[in-house]
Amino acid sequence: MSSAPTFLYGTAWKEDRTAALTELALRTGFRAIDTANQRRHYFESGVGEGLAVAYRAGIVTRAHLFLQTKFTYPRGQDHRLPYDPAARPAVQVAQSLASSLEHLGTDYVDSFVLHGPSSAYDWTDGDSEVWEAMRKERDAGRTHLLGVSNVSLQQLEQMESASSELTAFVQNRCFARLGWDREVRSYCNERKITYQGFSLLTANPKVLQHPPLIALATQMNATPAQIVFSFARAVGMLPLTGTTNADHMKQDLASLDLELPPELVRAIEHMAG
């Protein structure tokens, strides 16, 4: 894609609405799509169908899109695996990405993300082997950038010690009560890693119901959800939304134009943790 993405449209949990919602998101103005080759939660070939319709309708071209997919270990999958379960993880990485490219009707993705390390606590040798395989895919041109998801600060530090190459993206669930993932975000900021935040609304219902935030939203002629997305951008995050609602799609994109005063950004950052 020609410029860095500003908002990711997430395609999880949409099942047979995936194609239509992907197309609607593109029609509404999203230019970055997040998916995964994990049939349990994503219908990646449905994303590909939505893209194809959008290309045919002249809404967007491949060159102006940012497409991101993920490699998911077997324990995060159901029986619908996109690779040979008996193959080595490094081979599974290549098979998974080849299948994603087929689903998405493209010969490269913009970003290829490890959906989560193999252990909840550590970055293991197995993860390093997978990361090495992902780097090979990147070197072969099948992805432009690499990312990791669902990682702790400790895992990122272990990953940094184990690999000569840092990730370009971290994609994490962002809880306000953890200072909006403050530790991981500051690790990312220091290393110019782009932090992608998901569940910004669903993980933080108390923030959305916080009376001062609601008052502020009213004052700015915005919705509480827009304030949260605007805040996310102001602190350097690349936010995700997976809304299924046409008005919310417009509102989420419009939140990029809201300017929050710096003292307000600081107040929201320290609101819950």
Ligand X SMILES: NC(=O)c1ccc[n+]([C@@H]2O[C@H](COP(=O)([O-])OP(=O)(O)OC[C@H]3O[C@@H](n4cnc5c(N)ncnc54)[C@H](OP(=O)(O)O)[C@@H]3O)[C@@H](O)[C@H]2O)c1
Q: Which of 193, 252, 264, 271 binds ligand X (CB under 6 A)?
A: 252
Closer Cβ to ligand X, 84 or 209, answer by number? 209
Q: Which of 90, 248, 258, 269 binds ligand X (CB under 6 A)?
A: 248
152 contacts ligand X (rule: CB under 6 A) = no
Contact status, residue 30 vs residue 17, Cβ threshold 8 Å? no
Residue ranges of alpha helices (H) inside the chain are 18-28, 44-56, 89-104, 125-139, 153-162, 182-190, 205-208, 211-219, 224-234, 246-254, 262-269
**Nearest alpha carbon to residue 39 among 11, 63, 4:** 11
Q: Give the integer Cα–Cα distance in Å for 42 and 22.
A: 12
149 contacts ligand X (rule: CB under 6 A) = yes
Write out the binding residues for ligand X, residues 42-71 only, by CB under 6 A: none
Which residue's structure tokens are 């998974």? Answer: 96
201 contacts ligand X (rule: CB under 6 A) = yes
State the number of binding residues for ligand X (CB under 6 A). Answer: 24
Q: Which of 244, 266, 270, 273 binds ligand X (CB under 6 A)?
A: 244
Q: Which of 12, 178, 258, 267 binds ligand X (CB under 6 A)?
A: 12
Closer Cβ to ligand X, 12 or 272, answer by number? 12
Which residue minimizes CB distance to ligand X? 10
Q: Give the integer Cα–Cα distance in Å for 131 and 125.
A: 10
For residue 100, the SS3 value is helix
Closer Cβ to ligand X, 9 or 83, answer by number? 9
Q: Give the integer Cα–Cα distance in Å for 178 and 259.
A: 24
223 contacts ligand X (rule: CB under 6 A) = yes
Q: Which of 101, 195, 242, 264 binds ligand X (CB under 6 A)?
A: 242
241 contacts ligand X (rule: CB under 6 A) = yes
170 contacts ligand X (rule: CB under 6 A) = no
Contact status, residue 70 vs residue 36, Cβ threshold 8 Å? yes
Q: How far is the CB of 26 from ligand X (least distance, A)?
A: 15
